[in-house]
Amino acid sequence: MKKLLDLISEEMQQAFEAAGYDKELGKVSLSNRPDLCEYQCNGAMAGAKKYKKAPIMIANEVAEKLADSKVFSDVSAVAPGFLNLKVKEAFVTDYLRNMRADKKFGLEEAKEPKKIVIDYGGPNVAKPLHVGHLRSAIIGESIKRINRFAGHEVIGDIHLGDWGLQMGLIITELQKRQPDLIYFDENFEGDYPKEPPFTISELEEIYPTASKKSKEDENYKAEAMEATFKLQSGVRGYRALWNHILAVSVADLKRNYENLNVDFDLWKGESSVHDLIPDMVAYMKDGGYARISEGALVVDVKEETDTKEIPPCMILKSDGASLYNTTDLATIMERMKEINPDEIIYVVDKRQELYFEQVFRCARKTKLVKPETELKFLGFGTMNGKDGKPFKTREGGVMRLENLIKEINEEMYKKITENRTVEEEEARKTAQVVALSAVKYGDLSNQASKDYIFDIDRFISFEGDTGPYILYTIVRIKSILNKYKEQGGSIEGVELQDAVSESEKALMLEITKFNSMMEAAVEEIAPHKICAYIYDLANAFNRFYHETKILAEEDKEKQKGWVALLILTRDILETCIDLLGFSAPERM
Ligand code: ARG
């Protein structure tokens, strides 16, 4: 469907042409004086020079041509030559009817659908999830949904950190604690036990302990590196232990992500591409892309136009061990081979920007990707506490994601049960749904690349630019619709009607912005545009609601029109929050 502004502009362009002027002058934009008009056109000002005419004269001539317009109810030429515009109610109603009939509310699906891989989440196996992982999960999930909605084929890959030193650390610590475990017996040739020799809570305690020890003790660290190397080179017992670590950890991760309403199509990780590394290395050497530098294998990626130093991309360390780079490049190779995407988007902390610059350049230079394959880095900022420093627990430690979510759920529960009696189970469920909206909206309403302050009190508020406010608005609409049905009204076949009040028209005009907003959100990979839109939409709805006695209306036809408007508003709001990755309860 055409965007409303384009339709309006077309009408204006015809008028410019009919008055003998260049039609390009007829571009219409949203009014920046909403107190005076809904839209405006500054074309007469722009044309004054070319036509050596006072802009007000041009504006007057154009306005005359629009006297019988089906689009405009009011076209005023005002000094020095602006065209202030209002659109006809029927024109808006018509537009909304078409939106309602379209399953994407007027957003045109991509004409050439792309295949897009989104690399997000990126948790590290056996390390507890912390708030840093929260952003990647929230933003990545939303971007996945937005692109799917726009008609692209999207594959979300969690890209587990499951192959690095943390695995060696855990194995080392396990060996210290349980040296007799069969996994450490080099002569053992039988089948290893099916049951893991630890639980998730043990695992979560083992890693921090090991990590701390390795920082204090050189020898311990050396042992962990040795264990990592043995694991990577395929020592049976180590691989078997690693499989246990992975299984236990992934089960826990799945539960955590499920609570966040985040899900991945692929649960691959750094380890998935381990076997591809030798071939990739050979390819880079044979192609003459890589060179040896101080024993390590590197690919130069600096370019003449660089204004800052871009170090070479290291493929193998001097001891032959692979690095973060190596698995990322091999993953690109694998994705190209198995998925052949048009685009890969990485949703990672923006502090990794330089790293990804190196990886992308290396992938291009070594032709791991096609020239037209797009590699995009979507770096997000830090989530800070109220003190403006990276978010911590009250004691100053790293906040575990699970505890953070628990805390917010609890706060929300208190809020919901504050002044009323709600059944415990329902209240808990509702609290969880609303709390998730608070966290996700609090994050997504900021431009991803910016740091933001995680302010629980503000985020859980039912007023202001928050997730709970949006949900509250949706629930309000649902409740009106339910009452309408209880009064015997039917929502079947209700039709939108022309606005009869200013607030109703304002709501309708707000709704019309959906497709242009979505286009921008897709194009700029910007979920915050959806947040801004639904906040405006919710405000417009609430103003209309406060000024309109919907349920008490005697004129049943008029009431039906409002019911249709409510349904459309609700459907769009719910579609939008789904794109952001949360949902609304029935009551709250
Ligand atoms: N596991 C990494 C971390 O915690 C993030 C992974 C990002 N994705 C990637 N392909 N490197 O920092």
pLDDT digits (tens, 9 = 90+) for 311-360: 999 999 998 888 999 999 999 999 999 999 999 999 999 999 999 999 99
Q: Is 336 domain-assigned?
A: no
* Tally of domains in the chain: 3
Q: Is 510 domain-assigned?
A: yes
Q: Is 308 domain-assigned?
A: no
User: Which residue has the CA at smallest separation from atom 8 of ligand 1?
Assistant: 122
| Angle at 439 (CA atoms; ends 434, 440), nearest 5 degrees | 95
- Co-location of 430 and 549 in the same domain: yes
Let me know: does 435 contact 461? Beta carbons within 8 Å: no
- Co-location of 414 and 503 in the same domain: yes
Q: Residue 60 belongs to a domain with what CATH number?
A: 3.30.1360.70
Segment 375-404 shows an average pLDDT of 88
- Co-location of 468 and 573 in the same domain: yes
Report how far apart, in Å, the C-alpha atoms of 461 and of each of 389, 392, 438, 467 are: 23, 21, 8, 8
Let me know: does 196 contact 247? Beta carbons within 8 Å: yes
Q: How far is the CA of 360 from the centre of ligand 1 (A)?
A: 15
pLDDT > 90 in the chain, percent = 90
- Co-location of 170 and 83 in the same domain: no
Q: Which atom of ligand 1 is nearest to the CA of 324?
A: 11
Q: Which of 323, 346, 227, 242 is nearest to 277 (CA)?
A: 323
Predicted local confidence at residue 376, as pLDDT: 98
Domain endpoint, select from 54, 87, 120: 87
Mean of the per-residue pLDDT values of the chain: 95
pLDDT digits (tens, 9 = 90+) for 72-95: 999 999 999 999 999 999 999 999
Q: How far is the CA of 585 from the centre of ligand 1 (A)?
A: 33
Report the alpha-carbon distance of residue 43 to residue 82 in Å, rounded.
Answer: 8
pTM exceeds 0.85, yes or no: yes
Report the alpha-carbon distance of residue 376 to residue 118 in Å, rounded.
Answer: 10
95-99, 322-326, 525-529, 564-568, range with the lowest pLDDT? 322-326
Confidence of residue 561 (pLDDT cuts 50, 70, 90): very high
Strand arrangement, sheet containing 72-78: 28-30, 39-41, 82-87, 72-78
Return the H-helix or E-strand segment holding 507: helix 502-512
Q: How far is the CA of 328 from the centre of ligand 1 (A)?
A: 9
Report the alpha-carbon distance of residue 122 to residue 285 in Å, rounded.
Answer: 29
- Co-location of 461 and 555 in the same domain: yes
Domain that holds residue 61: 4-87
How many Cβ atoms from other residues are within 10 Å of residue 317's Cβ?
A: 13
Q: Is 192 domain-assigned?
A: yes
pLDDT digits (tens, 9 = 90+) for 264-273: 999 999 999 9
Q: Is 537 domain-assigned?
A: yes
Q: How far is the CA of 356 from the centre of ligand 1 (A)?
A: 10
User: Which residue has the CA at smallest separation from atom 11 of ligand 1?
Assistant: 328
Segment 401-407 shows an average pLDDT of 90
Q: How far is the CA of 352 from the centre of ligand 1 (A)?
A: 9
Q: How far is the CA of 545 from the centre of ligand 1 (A)?
A: 46
- Co-location of 563 and 414 in the same domain: yes
- Co-location of 208 and 79 in the same domain: no
Which of 352, 355, 356, when mutated, tests ligand 1's pocket best, judged by the most ligand atoms within 8 Å of its CB?
Answer: 352
Confidence of residue 401 (pLDDT cuts 50, 70, 90): confident
Report the alpha-carbon distance of residue 565 to residue 168 in Å, rounded.
Answer: 60
Report the alpha-carbon distance of residue 28 to residue 84 in Å, rounded.
Answer: 10
Predicted local confidence at residue 419, as pLDDT: 79
Q: Is 289 domain-assigned?
A: no
- Co-location of 405 and 527 in the same domain: yes
Q: Which atom of ligand 1 is nearest to the CA of 132?
A: 4
- Co-location of 433 and 530 in the same domain: yes
Predicted local confidence at residue 486, as pLDDT: 96
Report the alpha-carbon distance of residue 350 to residue 378 in Å, rounded.
Answer: 7
Q: Is the dihedral of CA 409, 414, 415, 417 positive or negative?
A: positive
- Co-location of 422 and 514 in the same domain: yes
Which of 157, 159, 270, when mutated, tests ligand 1's pocket best, judged by the most ligand atoms within 8 Å of its CB?
Answer: 159
Q: Is 79 domain-assigned?
A: yes
Q: What is the DSSP string of 266-278?
A: B--BGGGGGGGHH
Predicted local confidence at residue 518, as pLDDT: 98
pLDDT of 396 strictly over 80: no
pLDDT of 391 strictly over 90: no
| Angle at 24 (CA atoms; ends 20, 28), nearest 5 degrees | 110
Domain endpoint, select from 68, 87, 106: 87
pLDDT of 128 strictly over 90: no
Predicted local confidence at residue 366, as pLDDT: 98
Q: Is 587 domain-assigned?
A: no
Predicted local confidence at residue 324, as pLDDT: 93
Respond yes or no on whether the N-terminal peptide bond of residue 80 is cis (omega within 30° of 0).
yes
Q: Which of 444, 424, 480 is nearest to 347 (CA)?
A: 444
User: Which residue has the CA at smallest separation from atom 7 of ligand 1?
Assistant: 122
Q: How far is the CA of 278 from the centre of ligand 1 (A)?
A: 22
- Co-location of 80 and 172 in the same domain: no
Domain endpoint, select from 47, 67, 87: 87
Segment 226-230 shows an average pLDDT of 93
